[in-house]
Amino acid sequence: MTEKTFAFVVYPGLTPMDLVGPLQVINTFAETAPDVRVAVVGETLDVVGTDTPLRLAPSHTFADLPAPSWLLVPGGGAPTLQAMADPTLMAYLRKAAATAEFVCSVCTGSLLLGEAGLLDGRKATTHWMFRDLLRAFGAEPVAQRWVEDGPVITGAGVAAGIDLALYLVGKLGGPAAQRLVQFGLEYDPQPPLGPLDWSQAPAAELRPFTERTVRDGLAGVPQLRDKLLAHL
């Protein structure tokens, strides 16, 4: 039995639900899969801020875990765009992806995979408000809850990370494991207004927000900023 490690990447300013949804799913699976280890990796073990008042701290550094079996990168707003220009994070993603079985992202985490060169020629998804930006990395945007293309599995916005992670549990442990995790987390969604009605998506209303997020996050990297804005 070979031990495998699922690493969840932490960086400053991320959206904690992008990280914690999948982390809780995989961690629950790991409780009954003794060959699966879960780790939260960051550049250092220091506490980092998020896009909420909650602060987070990883369990391992990038140096501790250079070659995890599986990797998941969460997204966020402007700080995630900013992280595209973080050479330490980019180097870690490239290096870890070279040996990982699967590399996954949630929400705008796919922009980080894109900048790391991992989406070129692949189908991929991200948060619906940022989907067109994937073209800047040679990816083909797909409007699905999650998209699997070879070893790269990208998820849609924020809450999609839970569905993506359950898909991974099925892939790794089969439907019985998937069902047990779903009961364990009581994942039986009942959104008060029901599922989203995409014909009502406030796309025009939120487009300025998307543009501002790119401009704010990449203010110090005008070349990358303009490359993305060209696809908005």
Q: Does 214 bind a second copy (CB under 8 A)?
A: no
Residues with a known catalytic role? 107
The region of 85-93, 110-118, 177-185, 212-220 touching a second copy under the rule CB under 8 A is 177-185
Residue selected from 147, 160, 172, 228 as contacting a second copy according to rule CB under 8 A:
160
Task: State in angstroms the smallest separation of the CB of 121 from a second copy.
Answer: 25
Residue type, 37: R
What b/e string do you get for 52-78 counting C-beta neighbours within 10 Å, with b at 16 or more?
eeeebebebebeebeebbbbbbbbbbb
Q: Does 182 bind a second copy (CB under 8 A)?
A: yes
Q: Which residues contact 225 (CB under 8 A, 6 or more apart)?
A: 214, 215, 218, 219
Q: Does 114 bind a second copy (CB under 8 A)?
A: no
Task: State in angstroms the smallest separation of the CB of 160 from a second copy.
Answer: 6
- In sign, the C-alpha dihedral spanning 64, 70, 76, 79 is positive
Residue type, 58: P
Q: Is 3 helix (H, G, I), strand (E, B) or coil?
A: coil
Residue selected from 188, 199, 204, 220 as contacting a second copy according to rule CB under 8 A:
188
Residue selected from 202, 208, 220, 223 as contacting a second copy according to rule CB under 8 A:
202
Q: Could you tell me how many residues make up the chain?
A: 232
Contact yes or no for 201/210 (Cβ under 8 A): no
Contact yes or no for 94/62 (Cβ under 8 A): no
Residue selected from 11, 62, 137, 167 as contacting a second copy according to rule CB under 8 A:
167
Nearer CB in complex with a second copy: 120/198:
198
CA 211 – CA 155 distance, rounded (Å): 21
Q: Does 201 bind a second copy (CB under 8 A)?
A: yes
Q: Does 61 bind a second copy (CB under 8 A)?
A: no
Nearest to 147 by CA among 137, 134, 136: 134
CA 26 – CA 177 distance, rounded (Å): 11
Task: State in angstroms the smallest separation of the CB of 21 from a second copy.
Answer: 6
Nearer CB in complex with a second copy: 120/197:
197
Nearer CB in complex with a second copy: 113/162:
162
Residue selected from 2, 3, 34, 193 as contacting a second copy according to rule CB under 8 A:
193
| CA angle centred on 151, ends 21 and 35, rounded to 5° | 60
Phi, psi (deg, nearest 5) at residue 99: -120, -10
The region of 93-101, 112-120, 197-205, 220-228 touching a second copy under the rule CB under 8 A is 197-205
Q: Is 195 helix (H, G, I), strand (E, B) or coil?
A: coil
Helix ranges restricted to H, 71-195: 78-83, 87-99, 109-115, 160-184
Considering only residues 118 to 157 of the shown chain, the ones binding a second copy according to CB under 8 A are 127-128, 145, 156-157
Interface residues toward a second copy, by CB under 8 A? 8, 15-17, 19-21, 23-24, 27, 38-40, 47, 51-60, 107, 127-128, 145, 156-160, 162-163, 166-167, 170, 175, 178-180, 182-193, 195-196, 200-202, 206
